[in-house]
Structure 1
Amino acid sequence: MPKALILIADGSEEIEFVTPYDVLIRAGFEVTSVGVGLKEGGFATCTRNIRILPDHPTLSSLPAPPSPSLTFDILILPGGGPGAKTFSTTSSVLGLIYDFRAAGKWVAAICAGTTALVASQDKHGGEKVKVTSHPSVEKEIRGMGWEYADGGERVVVDGRVVTSRGPGTALLFSLTIVELLAGKEKRDEVAGPMVVAETL
């Protein structure tokens, strides 16, 4: 099954981290979480003060060979304004996003996490695609020249990039990732026992 790498920082949004992690595990994915810029102790203090201990405290603590963009099939960036700012201003994260995209792997960002995708492209280059995000960062993303989806689109897939709007779309975002990487049958298999509503 696919392997997913999900980042977390202080100020990441809990729902947008936990929901993809949970749903992908249910789908049989191998999921690994990594902290970015965490203080001593290694916990991420999220937007609602829930503390989460990632599987690895830093990107450098991942097993060295080979590169994460070769080891994992998808990179997932949760939102939460402060956490997304950390991603957007951390060189190793911006490089990692570029590496995933250059390798033809999937990158998924939700809420303000989309700003890190934009920052990576601004620094390293690469194709601009159609995206969405939390409304609070829409102007910033449009200002960088990215095509922005209509507000009615809760999850947007363009090329190998998946973006979504916010905490309320986290389940749809996660199930979309399952379908893209493992097929609709697997998505339905996961959604059924979760009693997922037909309309998300």
Structure 2
Amino acid sequence: MGGKSMKKAYVFIANGFEEVEAITPIDYLRRANIETVVVGVGTRQVKSPRNVTIICDTELNEVLEKTDETLLVVLPGGLDNSKSLGESEAVENFVKAVHKNGGIIAAICAAPVLTLGKWGMLDGKKFTCYPGMGEDLATKPLQGERVVRDGNIITGCGAGAAEEFSFALIEAVSGKTALQELKKSIVAR
């Protein structure tokens, strides 16, 4: 890597992404000086269910060989987005390689179940997800939990927990001091 910072995050989004669950982590990670790359899956320009369009920094095929420089992968929710990510063998392989290398994998809302759960990455793990989902998995989600970290896997329950989820990502990547600096700069509760 030639001395480059390992603090690189990839946020994968496809059509149907949940806006708050994607934008909040992107914004907060960048504010915390964590290099954050938004990756379009299927297309570089993606649209949410409420017609918010994002032009991603890059496309999936351009990052597939970058698992060694990845510290964090974020998988936002949104039902269609989560299904698209979960059905992508390339996303699955990328996420599993990053996790194997010790990277942090984060998913929120429907994404924990439809990606990590589908891929067997939540077996024996503590996790949360959108209420009512995940009951068909071998390991059941924790009920009533907003954000859960189990080792290098961080999960969130939904859009209302996007800020807490983002804070957990920053603390995991950069530590408590960086998180406190961010919270002060944005006048967080």
Question: TM-score when scaled to structure 1?
Answer: 0.86
Amino acid at match of 2:33: G
Letter in 1 for 2:127: V
Tell me which residue corresponds to 1:80. Answer: 78
**Alignment partner of 1:157 out of 144, 149, 154:** 149
Q: Does 1:4 align with 2:9?
A: yes
Letter in 1 for 2:182: V
Shift of 1:68: 2.5
Partner of 2:61: 60
* Structure 1 Cα separation of the partners of residues 21 and 122 of structure 2: 25
CA 1:6–1:92: 2 relative to 1, 3 Å: same
Could you tell me the percent identity over the aligned residues? 32
2:119 is equivalent to residue 116 of structure 1: no
Counterpart Cα distance in 1 of 2:153 and 2:11: 14
Higher share of residues assigned helix: 1
Which of 137, 144, 148 does residue 137 from structure 2 map onto? Answer: 144
- CA RMSD in angstroms comes to 1.6
Deviation string 1:2-35 (CA, Å, 9 cap, x unpaired) is 1101001000001111100000011110000111
Distance 1:69 1:150 in 2: 32
- The answer for unaligned runs of 5 or more in structure 1 is none
Normalising by the residue count of structure 2, what TM-score does the alignment of the two structures yield? 0.91
Q: For residues 127 and 159 of structure 1, what CA distance do their matches in structure 2 show?
A: 13
In the aligned structure 2, how far is the partner of 1:142 from the partner of 1:96? 26
Structure-2 residue corresponding to 1:171: 163
Using the alignment, how far apart are the partners of 2:9 and 2:84 within structure 1?
20
State the alpha-carbon separation in 2 of the partners of residues 104 and 61 from structure 1.
22
Contact persistence 2:14–2:41 (CA under 8 A): yes
- Out of 156, 174, 177, the position equivalent to 1:185 is 177
1:27 to 2:32 alignment? yes
What's 2:18 paired with?
A: 13
Distance 1:126 1:98, change over 3 A: farther
Paired residues, what number?
A: 183
Structure 2 residue runs of 5 or longer lacking an equivalent are none
* Contact 1:4 1:31 (8 Å CA) reproduced: yes
Cα distance in structure 2, aligned partners of 1:22 and 1:68: 22
Distance across 2 between alignment mates of 1:26 and 1:169: 18
Stretches of 4+ moved more than 6 A in 1?
A: none
